[in-house]
Structure 1
């Protein structure tokens, strides 16, 4: 693959992604336009492709998702969270406990350094975890591999669950790919560019997604300005995020991680099962469907969960509210958790 020119690699990436995304879309797979490019990116990355997505395009893609999420957000979403705050708090604490247990066991039964295992298993925003990991002594390459491997597993599993649970209704609405553009589209572009720039400048974790979502929601819900996010723009954002995740699975990093790959996969599946159990518990105490609960507790990246939620006819406002709360909770507790795992997991391993 690395013998091909960049132009040939881009051509292959583009056409293969379109074909696989269209095939998934035809069979009503949720997040088809994310999964298709992501899988093609993984295959090409492991085959030695030298393509990389510029970070600015990745941030703009997240900002597009933020504007899409903004259309579903309103102040009313705070009501169920505040009314059921003990349950929400319990879910957050149990998620942290599941994450900590997963990271502890991974470090305990593998050769990974403590900080690397802790940050790699943290179920927050993948890009935020990778960005912070290097400051705490972790191997950023392995953390990135673990984070995006989990995103790949979670995105695929969530799409399959959504497909089984919702059947053909997941994509039963005929999409209008190229609607007439109105003033809301230009407002959307302004929110998107300004939010991505400011979120990065202020170093807010996942700020390129969260700031456009919050600002856009304020404008959209109050009627000051209605946002317009056409399907073609969303499809482009999905593809950029899928390629950004997929192409990170390079051959050198894969070979570096090969020794601990079985433990990584077991850790990811275990964390997914634990969060799935939390989702089932959530449906027993709150009036929400299983798919909404599953996505709200799913340990995937904020952007990929948002894409799957948008295509799955779930309560996207509840999903994003709980995912955002968890992201900030993990960002606050992550350093302390990493230190704990690094100190005690290897200590016990040595003692045994």
Structure 2
């Protein structure tokens, strides 16, 4: 998902293309649309620069044994390009492909315990999800009551998930959608970075791509079948307008086929590496210079609220470890407040109970999509 597209659609439908920095006749007449830094380069040159920065960063993180280094390196490179005036954005069709590939990757790795894990512990999962929603809502309410951000912006920006829905609702309530997008982006970066560091320094060795296996032989028929199933059900998920349907629908169908032994899914390592990099680019390119300029005053309170939410999630993870004996890294990834795709990549790159992580993360996304906007609207009215 691209927040930049949602911002334009929410704030100025019908004029987004005309106001794009790449198409404006006089970009310097508006500071937010000024073409500076890397923005002066042609789009293809910006993509080349982004790739040139991403490769050594990803290689360094992979060499250091950082889980999801193939995602984190390109994400850092994309942030560098974005904050220095870059104007490129990941095309929608490419991000759809990323979601499909990641969904089928996780589906091929789930165990038959996924459904039983959820059914046997659904009261616990429900309690954890509701606790995270309550904490994120409380953080937004505090920032709003302190009048740090305009109107009800903080309430929508603090929501732990369902970002596209929150952006649309925020626009309808007169909140600043640029600040809402900034808060959502920043939380994803914080969560992904902290989870990666914990996985590395906590002794969870990466089990991801081996450089020697990057171009290992693969069965073209199995790969074509895997991608075909993923694309078809990804499109069905989008057509049904399900929450994160491009990811969850092929993931659910693929998991069912894997657990029943009906189909053997296979994806080459080089394709996974490309998907990880594109996901990192999609996150990092959201940090544009105009959004950062607009959000300078919001950075400190937003960072504090995110740290408070992550600390609360850490307490929930500690409770899971103490009461149920769950592996600490598994517990932390399961309770982390999004985003689902980045957490899935980190979980797949670490020695954790993938079924437990995906069961709780999927439950969180579905529940917050159903009740998150209602809760946020209620709190916004009261605030």
Taking structure 2 as the reference length, the TM-score comes to 0.85
In the TM superposition, 1:260-339 aligns within 5 A as 260-339=298-377
1:220 aligns with 2:258: yes
Question: What residue in structure 1 maps to residue 95 of structure 2?
Answer: 58
1:2 aligns with 2:69: no
**Offset of 1:26 from its aligned partner?**
0.3
Given the superposition, is the C-alpha separation of residues 264 and 173 from structure 1 closer, same or farther in structure 2, using an over 3 Å criterion?
closer
RMSD between aligned alpha carbons? 1.9
Given the superposition, is the C-alpha separation of residues 146 and 173 from structure 1 closer, same or farther in structure 2, using an over 3 Å criterion?
closer
**Cα deviation code 1:278-326 (max 9, x no counterpart):** 1101112223101000000001200000010011110111101101101
**Offset of 1:264 from its aligned partner?**
0.6
Given the superposition, is the C-alpha separation of residues 180 and 285 from structure 1 closer, same or farther in structure 2, using an over 3 Å criterion?
same
Deviates more, 1:234-243 or 1:187-196: 187-196
Would the aligned equivalents of 2:70 and 2:273 in 1 still touch at CA under 8 Å?
A: yes
**Offset of 1:75 from its aligned partner?**
4.6
Deviates more, 1:109-118 or 1:271-280: 109-118
Unaligned runs of at least 5 residues, structure 2: 1-37
1:20 aligns with 2:57: yes
1:344 aligns with 2:373: no
**Cα deviation code 1:183-223 (max 9, x no counterpart):** 22011110221122222221111111101111111222222
In the TM superposition, 1:1-352 aligns within 5 A as 1-127=38-164, 129-130=166-167, 133-166=170-203, 169-171=205-207, 174=210, 176-182=213-219, 183-345=221-383
| Bigger relative CO (Cα 8 Å, ≥ 6 apart) | 1
Unaligned runs of at least 5 residues, structure 1: 346-352
Given the superposition, is the C-alpha separation of residues 230 and 277 from structure 1 closer, same or farther in structure 2, using an over 3 Å criterion?
same
Q: How many residues are treated as equivalent by the alignment? A: 344
Would the aligned equivalents of 1:306 and 1:320 in 2 still touch at CA under 8 Å?
A: yes
**Offset of 1:86 from its aligned partner?**
2.8
Q: Partners in 1 of 2:344 and 2:208 — Cα distance?
A: 19
**Cα deviation code 1:236-276 (max 9, x no counterpart):** 11111111111111111111111121111111111111111
Deviates more, 1:153-162 or 1:79-88: 79-88
Would the aligned equivalents of 2:113 and 2:355 in 1 still touch at CA under 8 Å?
A: no
Taking structure 1 as the reference length, the TM-score comes to 0.92
**Cα deviation code 1:135-169 (max 9, x no counterpart):** 554433222211111111111110000001125x2
**Offset of 1:338 from its aligned partner?**
1.4
Would the aligned equivalents of 1:58 and 1:241 in 2 still touch at CA under 8 Å?
A: yes
Would the aligned equivalents of 1:44 and 1:247 in 2 still touch at CA under 8 Å?
A: yes
Q: Partners in 1 of 2:300 and 2:146 — Cα distance?
A: 11
Would the aligned equivalents of 2:162 and 2:369 in 1 still touch at CA under 8 Å?
A: no
Would the aligned equivalents of 2:62 and 2:69 in 1 still touch at CA under 8 Å?
A: yes
Would the aligned equivalents of 2:208 and 2:350 in 1 still touch at CA under 8 Å?
A: no
**Offset of 1:81 from its aligned partner?**
2.6
Q: Partners in 2 of 1:150 and 1:72 — Cα distance?
A: 27
Would the aligned equivalents of 1:171 and 1:311 in 2 still touch at CA under 8 Å?
A: yes
